Structure 1
Amino acid sequence: GGIIHKSTMSSGKNNSSVLENYNVITIGDSVVGKTSMLMAFTEGTFPIHHMSTLGIDTSSKAVTIKKNKQVKLTLWDTAGQERVRSITTNYYKNSDAIVLVYDCTQRDTFESISSWMTQIEEHASKDVFKVIVANKIDLDDQVIDKTEGESLAKKYGCPFFETSAKTGQNIDELFKFVATHVVSANLFIKKKEPNKKDERFSLDSFNNEGRKMRRKGWLRKLC
């Protein structure tokens, strides 16, 4: 579930107002469009030339949910290559939501979702919010239809989205949905266990991990 983290992003209307921050990680095989999805969401652009993420990229955006509440999503874009999975799994345990992405024109990326789920079970919090996303639905050569994607999501008890990073279809809706859920989950946890200290997340430790990876050349900050 979502945990409130203090961030330094102001709401714009009032500089003294600090937004709650939630960490969202995108995972999936290389070339499924994770980076393009995040660029579509944060910048409203689609990259002309593909560049594989080398380790972890970070970006952020304020999102307005119900009752005009604004929260900040810090978005962690992970590399899909097998050789760096041990690096990226370090970030799973501190995430509020994980977005699993496959390319609906490449069956192997769809079949890889099960191995990504295994990694989540091993490294993430048991109550982390998960969403399965079929990307590239603008393309004609789809080999996985919506029904098959929905069946996979149902198997894992996850919501399912179809998106196109190129056209922007459902991109904003996806991340607004994620933001709404993690905020609701956080409020539920606070009501259920108001005095419980969250031992899962430390902003300092999260940033320290990032600094270590940046020194090693794994982490690149986008904004």
Structure 2
Amino acid sequence: MTTQTRTPESLDPIRVRIISLGDVGTGKSCLIKRYCESRFASKSIPTIGVDYGTRSTSRKMNDGRQLEVKMDFFDLSGDDEYSDVRNEFYKNVDGALLTFDVTCKRSFESLGKWLREASEYGLSSDTTTTILVVGNKIDHRPREVTEQEGVAFSIQNNATYFETSAKTGMGIDDMFEYLLRELTRDEERRLSSVLP
């Protein structure tokens, strides 16, 4: 066994846990595949139970050091048949992607139901969980949900709103960069107070 000397520039990697939730067909799996695998699956099948994705990345902190982060994504099925499976994944979550299809008003109207289910089974309603409301499929027409409606819902539910297209990649990098910043902010503060 070798011992590694820790320098002020080297930091232990951290791991964050993120769930995606929303109705079937909103593009949750495609968003995660786009970010984790840099690809779009044009033919996707509904998630059965839960799917998993991961991405290792890093974030440059204010003091110039790199913080290595492993992001674990748990893509939860939107099918009611898998609610028992879903309910096991709401606890100890750092971030949540509450996703709807901008061309399907019904998927937007279901967001409250998803938040209630997540809260009932352990999703923290305080500020420890970063929640993003994601209006996906902005490359499709006609829209049934406006950006203003998405923003208003997000504000009412202490979340941040993003619009994306898993197909074209539009908005994906901005959304995940924001999520990474939010999920590592407390760790950066902690590390800044430990090392000069």
Task: Tell me the TM-score range normalised by the shorter chain.
Answer: 0.7 to 0.9
Residue in structure 1 matched with residue 6 of structure 2 by the alignment: none
Alignment of 1:5-16 (within 5 A): none
**Residue 28, structure 1, aligned to residue 22, structure 2:** yes
Q: Is the 8 A contact 1:98 1:129 kept in 2?
A: yes
Residue in structure 1 matched with residue 85 of structure 2 by the alignment: 87
- 1:184 to partner: Cα distance: 1.0
Q: Which amino acid letter does the alignment assign opposite residue 57 of structure 2?
A: V
Which blocks of at least 5 consecutive residues in structure 1 are unaligned? Answer: 1-15, 195-223
- 1:129 to partner: Cα distance: 1.5
Q: Which amino acid letter does the alignment assign opposite residue 185 of structure 1?
A: D
- 1:183 to partner: Cα distance: 1.1
Which blocks of at least 5 consecutive residues in structure 2 are unaligned? Answer: 1-9
- 1:62 to partner: Cα distance: 1.4
Q: Is the 8 A contact 1:40 1:46 kept in 2?
A: yes
Residue in structure 2 matched with residue 114 of structure 1 by the alignment: 112
Residue in structure 1 matched with residue 31 of structure 2 by the alignment: 37
Aligned CA-pair RMSD: 2.0
Q: Is the 8 A contact 1:56 1:76 kept in 2?
A: yes
Between 33-42 and 117-126, the greater mean CA deviation after superposition: 117-126
Q: Is the 8 A contact 1:66 1:180 kept in 2?
A: no
Matches of 2:98 and 2:47 in 1, distance apart? Answer: 16
Q: Which of structure 1's runs of 4+ aligned residues deviate more than 6 A?
A: none
Q: Is the 8 A contact 2:13 2:67 kept in 1?
A: no
- 1:41 to partner: Cα distance: 0.5
* Equivalent residue pairs, number: 176
Matches of 1:185 and 1:17 in 2, distance apart? Answer: 15
Q: Is the 8 A contact 1:63 1:179 kept in 2?
A: no
Of 46, 56, 74, 1:52 maps to 46
TM-score by length of 1: 0.74
Q: Which amino acid letter does the alignment assign opposite residue 82 of structure 1?
A: D
Q: Which amino acid letter does the alignment assign opposite residue 121 of structure 1?
A: S
Structure with the largest fraction of helix:
1
**What's the secondary structure of 1:118's corresponding residue?**
helix
Q: Is the 8 A contact 2:11 2:67 kept in 1?
A: no
Q: Is the 8 A contact 1:101 1:132 kept in 2?
A: yes
Residue in structure 2 matched with residue 153 of structure 1 by the alignment: 154
Question: Residues 143-181 of structure 1, C-alpha deviation per residue, up to 9 Å, x if partnerless?
Answer: 101011101101101110000000001112212211111
TM-score by length of 2: 0.83
Residue in structure 2 matched with residue 205 of structure 1 by the alignment: none
Residue in structure 2 matched with residue 125 of structure 1 by the alignment: 124
Matches of 1:46 and 1:175 in 2, distance apart? Answer: 16
